[in-house]
Structure 1
Amino acid sequence: MPKIWTNSGDSHFLEPADLWESRLPRRLADLTPKADKDPDGEYETVRVDGQTFRRKLPTSAAVQFLENTRKAEGIRDARLRLGDLDHEGVWGEVIFPSLGMWSSTFRTPELLKACMRASNEWALEEVASVSDRYVVTAQVSTLVVEDAVTELEWAAGQGFRSVFLPTRPHPSAPDWHMADWEPLWRAAEQAGMVLAIHIGTDPVDLTSGKVGVAYRGPGGAVMNYTETTFSGQRFAMKLVASGALDRHPDLKVLISEGGASWIPFLGDRMREGYRQHHMAVRPKLTRDPKDILMTQVYASFQHDESAVAAYTAMGYRNVMFGSDYPHMEGTYGHTQDTLKELFDGVPVETRLRITQGAFAELFPHVPPAPADEV
């Protein structure tokens, strides 16, 4: 079949389960995440960094998905992964961690710092070294600003071009809009590191008994899934309103898997708030908040028809396709069908901007994708 080639602003890799445990000294390794299933298989007890909580295990549908995911050999093997990508028509891709999604749950700075370095060294050895099509996200501490800056600068020196940050740091650390994080934004801009934010990575509330669940009852599954998208919007809002992006005009942000049509809407709301409540606004910005959001924040989507309209009808140029390989919400196994549906009747220049152009702006070091065959 003729292919539409695309880059992807969102994908995932599954590290070895014992990555941290095997690379850290025992006193720290004992604090890394560990889980024990109940005999009936319905719940498990998780221990992480001196904290214990229980969570419900996946439903039968989710278990079936996990079984199917194991067939995607590239989730664990960076060499086999290239075959999966070629089959799907995906060229370059931003790769997020799996273990690293725990980072905002750690509360011991020394532990988090050590885990992030171990993950970064492993990613360099096992993933980044395999292909220049891979944009592997570095990981940094979100507990201590100085640790984050040190690791970001080290990662940039090793060739990383992007750094993964959770949508919100641990509650014991300052939130992203606070001035404490200014050294990190400055360091990222100077190093040319893209801030890569994946939705749904707010810290886990270990005391609520509702880990991963915001709603129960009728509609809960859809509401819980939808709820995860808002965390990425809040991150973008914080960096615009706090002046972080205004002060660092060369700093770029990628919000992955959260859709794209929310960017113009959020920009309108922020512009209105800034204009109508200007007497109370602090800090004052040198540029319109909507313009900052529309130019410095990129957003990836996988199935949303409205994302294409955000470019064609609302003037948002930084729309980027993301396959979310190989997650349930993603397009693995039907990427070409999805692309052809999304871009049926859409001008070629629009398609190329969304599938390749926006990605190439953020990561110009990735070789160009092959020519489309349609």
Structure 2
Amino acid sequence: MTELPRIVSVDDHVIEPAHLFETWLPAKYRDKGPKPFTAGIGELAYVGGKYRFTTDPAGQVTDWWEYEGLLFPYKRIIAAVGFSRDEMTLDGITREEMRRGCWDPKARLADMDLNHVEASLCFPTFPRFCGQTFAEAQDKEVALACVRAYNDWMVEEWCGDSGGRLIPLCLIPLWDIDLAVAEIRRNADRGVRAVTFSEIPTYLGLPSIHSGYWDPFFAACEETGTVVNMHIGSSSQMPAASPDAPPAVQASLSFNNAMASMMDFLFSGVLVKFPRLKLAYSEGQMGWIPYALERADDVWEEHRAWGGVRDLIPEPPSTYYYRQIFCCFFRDKHGIASIETVGIDNATFETDYPHVDSTWPHTKEVALDHVKGLDDETVYKLMRGNAIRMLGLDLDRDR
């Protein structure tokens, strides 16, 4: 390998600018929409997979959103790039203290250039990973307007002047399947090919993927070529063990929901019913996948009669994984050692900018350390080729 191909990162994050809803929300909804403000924060803790905080006028100055009386503070660990590891704490933070690439698209492109990254798909922060903030709102008319405003900002402002380097990732109104389908089609008509969805919708009080409720959504995604992206934590809870365990336990178990979600899909019949639907698991890593597939296939072979899938899943579950599911990684040498089983055509790469896990600005070195010894075609697929194919990007057409 003479040179590492420039990376297409399938999991990064954006900190929403303070002007987002004032600019993009229709005027009649602005009084009830999200409002940015700056104020002191008190205690901030992460307990049992949930953030807990208090306010304190004399506390550390922090940027917040207020929406329907609820408060959302920005935390240093979600805008951690530029800080040392020992400074990546649960303290509050303002946009002025963040590296500008967290919220400014031109600065983001410059930081991508510093990091050997050509293109990037970014998940939301204030709306949460699949728009739970709006799904939980009381006034659903305003919430729908907020979802559309976020998507308009994402497509036209965040991605608009990037020359295709910032890839739009849109929300749906999770609470209404017809509105969700309409939003998929509205965004697909302007070139969007990625939507964020919950890894485990039932954790959000929504119907399960087994119920058939989501079939019109999956059908619309299949028809438009829209990839369903499921980020760890998009079910509003992280895996936990003891309720008083330190946050390091949840951080170490973060892949667990992705594994549970993938099993759910493999045995749901969704991938049988929609054979061109593409699923992407974001920030779940991949070292666990070989055994998960082995176990799924064993269960299908040995337990399908009583397990409820004899007539639902006609082929071994791994068949549908290799055909329709993508994983991603950024620190996972065990996954690389098993890449043939993980799937050379199924694995993609991410940088997780600007979160505490991010490899910025050393992503090139981290990637090289992982792929040394792999052939050039495999390296190309892992660093960009699979992401280009997954998202239908207008890159490398000459290959």
Q: TM-score, normalised by structure 1?
A: 0.84
Where does residue 49 of structure 2 map in the other structure? Answer: none
Distance 1:241 1:162, change over 3 A: same
The within-5 A match list for 1:3-152 is 4-17=5-18, 19-20=20-21, 23=25, 30=32, 32=34, 40-42=42-44, 43-44=53-54, 61-62=88-89, 70=97, 72-101=99-128, 103-105=131-133, 106-107=135-136, 108=138, 109-130=140-161, 131-152=163-184
Mean Cα displacement is larger for which, 312-321 or 38-47? 38-47
1:125 Cα deviation after fit: 1.7
When residues 216 and 286 of structure 1 are mapped into structure 2, their CA distance, relative to the original with a 3 A threshold, is: closer
Q: C-alpha distance in 2, partners of 1:158/1:50?
A: 31
Counterpart of 2:231 (choices 198, 202, 210) is 198
Aligned partner letter, 1:251: L
How many angstroms apart in 1 are the aligned matches of 2:16 and 2:243?
A: 31
Greater Cα shift, 79-88 or 14-23: 14-23
Name the SS for the 1:82 alignment partner: helix
Residue 182 of structure 1: which of 194, 200, 215 is its match?
A: 215
Residues 7 and 359, structure 1, Cα contact 8 Å, conserved in 2: yes
Q: CA deviation at 1:366?
A: 3.2
Residues in 2 aligned to 1:35 and 1:216: alpha-carbon distance in whole angstroms: 32
**Separation in 1, partners of 2:7, 2:398:** 9
How many residues matched?
Answer: 364
Q: Kindly indicate whether the alpha-carbon contact (under 8 Å) linking 1:249 and 1:296 is maintained by their aligned counterparts in 2.
A: yes
Q: Kindly indicate whether residue 172 of structure 2 is the aligned counterpart of residue 162 of structure 1.
A: no
Q: Tell me, what secondary structure is at the counterpart of 1:228? A: coil
Whether 2:330 is the aligned partner of 1:330: answer no
- Identity among equivalent pairs (%): 23
| 1:3–1:316 Cα change, 3 Å | closer
Residue 354 of structure 1, CA deviation: 0.8
Q: Does the CA contact (< 8 Å) of 2:193 and 2:392 recur in 1?
A: no
Q: Distance in 1 between matches of 2:68 and 2:211?
A: 28
Of the three residues 208, 220, 238, the one matched with 2:264 is 238
Looking at structure 2, the residues matched to 289 and 331 of structure 1 have their Cα atoms a distance apart, in angstroms, of 33
Whether the 8 Å contact between 1:149 and 1:187 is mirrored in structure 2 is: yes
Q: 8 Å contact 2:14–2:125 — kept in the other structure?
A: yes
Letter in 1 for 2:156: E
Measured after TM superposition, the shift of residue 44 of structure 1 is 2.4
TM-score calculated relative to the size of structure 2: 0.79
Farther off after superposition, 54-63 or 361-370: 54-63
CA contact (8 A) 1:92 1:134 kept: yes
Deviations 1:185-217 (A, max 9, x none): 00100001011111112136xxxxxx9976554
- Structure 1 gap segments, 5+ residues each: 205-210
Partner SS, residue 271 of structure 1:
helix
Deviation at 1:311, TM superposition (A): 1.6
SS of the residue corresponding to residue 138 of structure 1 reads: coil
Moved more, 311-320 or 76-85: 311-320
CA-CA distance at 1:323 after TM superposition: 0.8
AA partner of residue 307 (structure 1): G
For 2:186 and 2:348, locate their aligned partners in 1 and report how far apart those are by CA, in whole Å.
28
> SS at the partner of 1:11?
strand
Tell me the alpha carbon deviations over residues 114-164 of structure 1, each in whole angstroms, 9 at most, x when there is no partner. Answer: 221010111122122122122211110111111111111111012101111
What is the SS of the residue equivalent to 1:249? Answer: coil
What's the CA shift for 1:110? 2.8
CA distance in 2, matches of 1:41, 1:370: 54
Change (3 A) 1:87 1:95: same
- Please report the RMSD computed on the Cα atoms of aligned residues, expressed in angstroms: 3.5
Aligned twin of 2:299? 273
Q: Is 1:153–1:191's contact at 8 Å kept on the other side of the alignment?
A: yes
- Please state if 1:301 is matched with 2:334: no
Aligned-pair distance for 1:17?
3.6
Cα deviation digits, residues 147-186 of structure 1 (max 9, x gap): 1111111110121011111223363321233210000000
When you count helix as a share of all residues, which structure comes out higher? 1
